Structure 1
Amino acid sequence: MELKVTKYRIDDDGVATVWFHRPGRGNSWTNLMNTEYRWIMNTLDRDPKVRVVVVTGTGDQFCVGADTKALNFYTTNDRDYADTVDQSHAAQPGAGVNDEFETDLIWHWGLRVPVIAAINGACAGIAAAIVSFCDLRFAAENVKFTTSTPRLGLPAEYGLSWILPRIIGTTHSADILFTGRIVYSQELDRMGFLNGLFPKDELMDEVYKTARMIAEQVSPASVTSAKRQMYSELLHLSPRSAIDGSKGIIDHFMRQPDFQEGIAAYNERRAPRFADPVLEPRP
């Protein structure tokens, strides 16, 4: 696919970086960006060399939300919104894992690779939902974050009413979702939304430290399994099934080469050399 509003690269250490790339428009979100982003993430997830993905924005902004031209379109057009954003024709990243994950944004949870949001600048509207469905979130200091929707006469969008209370609780979620106010990254950090907060000129270095630790020091199969366990168990909320189910998974993993390598590396006080992931067949 020819990429016009996104870009990506894969480093030798297995860390992939994806950029929302409309710097002249605040990296604002469009249907084309959605299509390209889905294609990139599907491509990276199917590449056994990729161990972790970092998502960020080009320049000084992460993504300022939906493009204002697109929003203006809906004030003069009576087309059904769902039809205008239909992505059934596009790549389907994360498919085949859990039916609940096979829709916009929550497909991040179906990916085998962990996804780290590096929030380098303004993050608004749909971008607030995107980073909420990433696995880890790091931000630069003094970054502005807002859902925007109540100030535009819109409801909570793209699952924010479901995911935010599970990350930061109902008290903080009600504040963010009902007011649509600008929340700075320092406050997001206090709320527990972020995994780390750094000066702007240090953000990407710190993000890549975490990304490279995942890429180089942990078993890809173990990370994928933990990701699948965590998000699936969020849905059924049964601690007994989580514990009992994990026993069978532990038994399987103890019979795999990565377990033997992990124990050997620990005993020999060296870095482990885990095998590349074995990719699952996907639809």
Structure 2
Amino acid sequence: MSEAVRAEAPGAQAHMSYEVKDGIGLITLNRPDKLNAWTGEMEKGVKRAVGAAAKDDKVRVIVLTGAGRGFCAGADMNLLQSIEPEGGRRNIVSKEEEEAVDLSYDHGPSVIEHFHGRFGYLFECPKPVIGAVNGACAGLGLVVSLFCDLRFASEEAKFTTSFAQRGLVAEHGIAWLLPRLIGSAHALDLLMSARKIDGREAARLGLVNQAFPADEFMEEVMAYARHMAANVSPRSMAVMKRQVYKSLFQDFNQSTDMADKEMQASFKSADFKEGVAHFVEKRSAHFTGR
């Protein structure tokens, strides 16, 4: 088992932490006394950590979770109270304060042109991002989870959009993302009623991939992440992630043409050669991402 590397993102005031172990970059929102309510420092720290993980060859998978009883209970209410309705600051992090991270990757199409805004960089990141929803997941916290590629939940986790109860609207792309995951009727139900659902119902709706018992939750999530880190090609994951998000803006023929082009490129890769070799030789794979 590899040695863990821990680091609090510089300037994050301990609002999040970052650890690398067993091929997994674990990002933990760290305000447990506030159910990890979202702050500007947390936002900048998470983006910085994703950028670091994207460029680290030791990291194959990113897991985003929360400390304590919550995943993220939404935007910090003190910050919401300071938002000015006219001509003032509307976001927790201003445009000038946003982190600039390099998520460039040599393989597969870029998708960032389709996902502007605060969290679109998570779709551009070439590493898979798993949202591990361990507890309360509300408002902005739910939005952040939707920008993860996969989501797993504790059966006891509580989800709510909450916007309608704050006099707000479907913010930060959730009106586009949520119907594509669970359908328009279910999306309108969760948005307009702002009712709470648990992890079991979230799994039934397709909001999360799977729900696990609370006492097994992180063990199950990390086992899944370790499987991805150890047994599949990082190059394949990166290209497939971008294929899927790019295809949302293409017709079938465009998506197929893109796949044919990427397939030809994959034949030249070291990971393709290793994928065939380890199967034929009946041994564990040693993918490099190249």
TM-score (ref. length: structure 1): 0.92
Amino acid at match of 1:273: H
Cα distance in 2 between the residues matched to 1:229 and 1:82:
33
- Give the deviation of 1:91 after TM superposition: 2.3
Q: 2:192 aligns with which of 178, 193, 198?
A: 178
The number of residues matched between the two structures is 274
Cα distance in 1 between the residues matched to 2:118 and 2:210:
26
C-alpha spacing 1:204/1:221, structure 2 compared with 1 (3 Å): same
Q: 1:206 aligns with which of 212, 215, 220?
A: 220
Amino acid at match of 1:114: P
- Structure 2 residue 70 is the aligned partner of structure 1 residue 70: no
Contact 2:103 2:126 in 1 (8 A): no
Residue aligning to 2:279: 266
Residue aligning to 2:52: 43
Partner of 1:155: helix, strand, or coil?
coil
Contact 2:117 2:172 in 1 (8 A): no
Amino acid at match of 2:48: W
Contact 1:28 1:63 in 2 (8 A): yes
C-alpha spacing 1:165/1:18, structure 2 compared with 1 (3 Å): same
Residue aligning to 1:121: 135
- Give the deviation of 1:158 after TM superposition: 0.9
Q: 2:262 aligns with which of 218, 227, 249?
A: 249
**Which deviates more from structure 2 when the two are superposed, residues 264-273 or residues 114-123?**
264-273
C-alpha spacing 1:44/1:87, structure 2 compared with 1 (3 Å): farther
- Structure 2 residue 59 is the aligned partner of structure 1 residue 85: no
Identity between Structure 1 and Structure 2 (%): 35
Residue aligning to 1:281: none
Cα distance in 2 between the residues matched to 1:168 and 1:112:
25
Cα distance in 2 between the residues matched to 1:261 and 1:103:
38
Contact 2:130 2:148 in 1 (8 A): yes
C-alpha spacing 1:206/1:112, structure 2 compared with 1 (3 Å): same
- Give the deviation of 1:79 after TM superposition: 4.6
Please list every run of 5 or more consecutive structure 2 residues that lacks an aligned counterpart in the other structure: 1-9, 105-109
- Structure 2 residue 55 is the aligned partner of structure 1 residue 55: no
Contact 2:130 2:150 in 1 (8 A): yes
Residue aligning to 2:208: 194
Contact 1:168 1:193 in 2 (8 A): yes
Q: How much is the aligned-residue C-alpha RMSD, in angstroms?
A: 1.7
- Give the deviation of 1:202 after TM superposition: 0.5
C-alpha spacing 1:25/1:84, structure 2 compared with 1 (3 Å): closer
- Give the deviation of 1:78 after TM superposition: 4.4
Task: String of CA shifts for 1:36-83, please: whole Å, max 9, x gaps.
Answer: 111111111111111001100011111100111112223x77453446
Contact 1:94 1:112 in 2 (8 A): no
- Give the deviation of 1:268 after TM superposition: 1.7
**Which deviates more from structure 2 when the two are superposed, residues 78-87 or residues 25-34?**
78-87
Residue aligning to 2:152: 138
Partner of 1:137: helix, strand, or coil?
strand
Residue aligning to 1:7: 17
Amino acid at match of 2:82: F
Cα distance in 1 between the residues matched to 2:92 and 2:277:
54
Task: String of CA shifts for 1:208-234, please: whole Å, max 9, x gaps.
Answer: 111011101011111000001000111
Please list every run of 5 or more consecutive structure 1 residues that lacks an aligned counterpart in the other structure: 279-283
